[in-house]
Amino acid sequence: MRSAQDILDLLQELETEPADYLEDQDLDFKEWIPRSMNDSLNLVIEMAVCMANGGGGVVVFGVRDHVTGREKAILGVPPEIDVNRLKKAVYDSTDPKLTPNFEEIRVPEGTGRLLVMTVFPGLPPYTDTSGKGKVRVGKDCQPLTGTMRRRIMVETGETDFTAERLNERPEELISAAALETLVNAARREKAPEDLLRADGMDILAQLGVIQDGQMTRAGVLLCGTEKAISKYIPGYGWTHLRMQSDTRYTDRADGRDALLVALSRIMDRINADNPIFTLEQGLFHFEYRTYPEIALREAVANALCHADFRIAGPILVKQGPDKLEISNPGGFIAGITPENILHHQPAARNPLLVDALAKLRLVNRSNLGVGRMFEALLIEGKEPPVIHESGDSVALTFMRREFSREFRLFVAEESQKGRALSLDQLLVLQYVLAHPEIDSATAAGICQRPEQNARGIMDGMERLGYVERGGAGRGTYWTLHSDLHQKIAAPGDPDRDRRIDWEAAKTRVLSVLMERARRGNEGLNNTDIRRITHYDRNQVRRLMMELMKENDSIQKEGERRWTRYVYSM
């Protein structure tokens, strides 16, 4: 949970960012409603319920959204507001009862007083005493609809579709071929010996998918016959399409196999059109597929084990000329979003199924799978997958990209030096290879880290000689070190020597100026522009004179060593 000091540190950001930009799954800012005590109490109750249903969090009362500057944003809470009254109102008006903690923060602006309400995680769903409620999803409080209530029950383990027991003899439901596939896969992954020594039904009992002699739906998904799967999990199935365009396909395969059989069949079909590239390094030849197999396997396995099997819809794989998309029915749960998925606490929609696969070491319960996907692509010089949620489904898209021999060799060399690149460093390097600069806010977004952590990442990369720093204070940015760029850029990259032609230099400088203006950052000085273009001081002066003549929005501020160029929006 956020401490009072954490909140005070965040308030400094209000000088340059509106409060809503600083909000997160576990943090909200709310303006107090001075005209009506009842409206204020209702707001406090609503936010307590919302945060409790979203896994807990902090609400800061007395701060206005959508404005920049502390004076405008921090209005405060009236001094006569009694926190004991607020705590009692929340307790009396919630079901089950909530007892949030309230803390006062003193500030120089507004009334001089902010109230911080901390709501601790509990056992949702929570509502007010009239049965109404909301749930925190990302930065929003959404109505606690029937679908949301069901999702919360899944997240808290109150309902697990795969754990339901079936009134039929397990022997009648099991496919011998699927069970053999499961055992063989467990051996390859070096599952615990006590599991591997078990036979047939015993291994399923040890996995927990047979309970008190009864088969669960998880057991049917793992090793059931197609007839049993159709009967007890009628919504489940998989489809692989070879796409000719976004709307037409040339080949299709469908199945209702047990999960590990399905995984094998889907992987075989994908790899039939997943060419291998051979990298020669000394006496060794290394083979790499267009789509890294480890990334594909993690993606397909995630789609199979995290699908919502109550929704009728297949695990769908669409493989086209330039991309491959894997989607499954069932949206994100537990506050996971595409923007925080790399580091969010793991959450399973189907706990019994995932637990059984984890015991077999066929999936990872520590939320490492998504990171492995990203890493497998990034170390080959390819962009990470794109993940998005659409209604009640999640899709992951791999773009078809060429293998980068230069980048892969660089990663291997760094590893040999004892400097294995982290996922954060890989994400940043791929970004600055494609963009002229990166600031800490952008680094925080692509690494899915707090901005303070992102600054530490960038400082560390600067010490290693990967990037160069420009600007100062809030205007600090980093560019890829010229020597490293020459080493890891593709041979056909026209920018490989970092000295770009005159017109391209003007375009790049204009683009950076516009982007910095959009973010509210200061402009560029001669040193900054030299880093971008790799021209000398006099060439930069001449370039900027031409650029100002061509574009009235670019203005010069200051003289001599204090000269700075800015873009007026």
In the structure encoding, which two tokens stand for residue 387, read together?
């993940």
Per the structure block, which two tokens stand in for 118?
């901390």
* 407 in a structural domain: no
Q: Give, as one character, the DSSP assignment of residue 176.
A: H
- What local confidence, expressed as pLDDT, does residue 388 receive? 93
For 455-526, strand residue ranges (E) read 467-470, 477-480
How many residues in the chain?
569
pLDDT of residue 423: 96
Are 48 and 133 part of one and the same domain? yes
Task: For residue 81, give its domain range.
Answer: 4-155
Query: Do both 292 and 313 map to the same domain?
Result: yes
CATH number, residue 113: 3.30.950.30
Residue 295: the pLDDT is: 94
Identify whether 414 is part of a domain: no
Q: Count CA within 13 A, CB hemisphere, residue 258.
A: 25
Residues 6+ away with beta carbon under 8 Å from 13: 22
Do 329 and 391 lie in one domain? The reply is yes
Residue 423's SS3 state is helix
Q: Is residue 333 part of a domain?
A: yes
Specify whether 207 is located in the same domain as 107.
no
Rounded Cα gap, residues 76 and 29, in angstroms: 11
Sign of CA dihedral 90, 91, 93, 97: positive
Task: Find the DSSP H helices in 224-350.
Answer: 226-232, 259-271, 293-306
pLDDT at position 284, please? Answer: 63
- 254 and 367: one domain? yes
- Distance CA(350)–CA(352), nearest Å, equals 6
CATH number of the domain bearing residue 259: 3.30.565.60
377: enclosing H helix or E strand: helix 369-378
506 located within any domain: yes
Intra-chain end-to-end CA distance of the chain, in Å:
39
Query: Dmax of the chain from CA atoms?
Result: 87
Nearest to 163 by CA among 344, 310, 313: 310
- Give the residue from 215, 232, 249 where a domain finishes: 232
Is 113:80 a contact under the CB 8 Å cutoff? Answer: no
Please check whether residues 295 and 219 belong to one and the same domain.
no
Q: Which amino acid is located at 425 in the chain?
A: Q
What percent of the chain is helix, strand and coil (3-state, nearest 5)?
45, 20, 35
- Give the number of domains in the chain: 5
In-domain check, residue 356: no
Write out the two tokens for 443. Answer: 């680094």
Task: For residue 355, tell me if it sits in a domain.
Answer: no
DSSP, res 139: T
8 Å CB contact between 134 and 49? yes
Which of 61, 48, 58 lies closest to 126 in space, CA to CA?
48
Same-domain check for residues 74 and 134: yes
Residues 6+ apart with CB under 8 A from 536: 530
- Judgement on whether residues 43 and 171 belong to the same structural domain of the protein: no
- Verify that 302 and 346 share a domain, yes or no: yes
Cα–Cα distance for residue pair 352/219, rounded to 1 Å: 9
Q: What are phi and psi of 491, to 5 degrees?
A: -55, -30
Q: Of 155, 175, 197, which marks where a domain is finished?
A: 155
pLDDT in tens, 312-367: 899 999 999 999 999 999 888 877 889 999 988 888 889 999 999 999 888 875 55
Please indicate, yes or no, whether residues 34 and 111 belong to a single structural domain of this protein. yes
Q: Distance (Å, rounded) from C-alpha 77 to C-alpha 85?
A: 14
Assign 396 to helix, strand or coil: strand
Q: What is the DSSP string of 27-96?
A: EEEE---TT-HHHHHHHHHHHHHHHHHTT-EEEEETB-SS--SHHHHB----TT--HHHHHHHHHHTEES
Structural domain includes residue 412: no
Domain termination site, one of 128, 155, 182: 155
- Specify whether 124 is located in the same domain as 223: no
State the pLDDT at residue 499. 47
Residues of the chain with pLDDT under 70: 150-159, 281-285, 365-367, 471-472, 474, 492-501
Tokens, residue 493: 């990259």
Q: What is the pLDDT of residues 128-167, one digit of tens each?
A: 999 999 998 888 999 988 777 766 666 655 568 899 999 9
Contact present, 166 and 215 (Cβ < 8 Å): yes
Tell me the CA distances in angstroms from 276 to 205, 287, 289, 293, 409, one per residue in order: 41, 6, 4, 10, 17
Minimal CA–CA distance to 179: which of 211, 202, 155, 147?
202
pLDDT of residue 214: 95
Give the side-chain half-sphere CA count within 13 A for 295: 28
Compute the half-sphere exposure of residue 13: CA atoms within 13 Å on the CB side of its CA.
18
* Sequence-distant (≥ 6) Cβ neighbours of residue 5 within 8 angstroms: none
Q: Is residue 15 domain-shared with residue 82, that is, in the same domain?
A: yes
**Among 362, 361, 367, 329, CA closest to 348:** 367
Q: Is residue 408 part of a domain?
A: no
Q: Report the C-alpha gap between 345 and 336 in whole angstroms.
A: 8
Q: What is the rounded distance in angstroms from the CA atom of residue 299 to the CA atom of residue 321?
A: 19
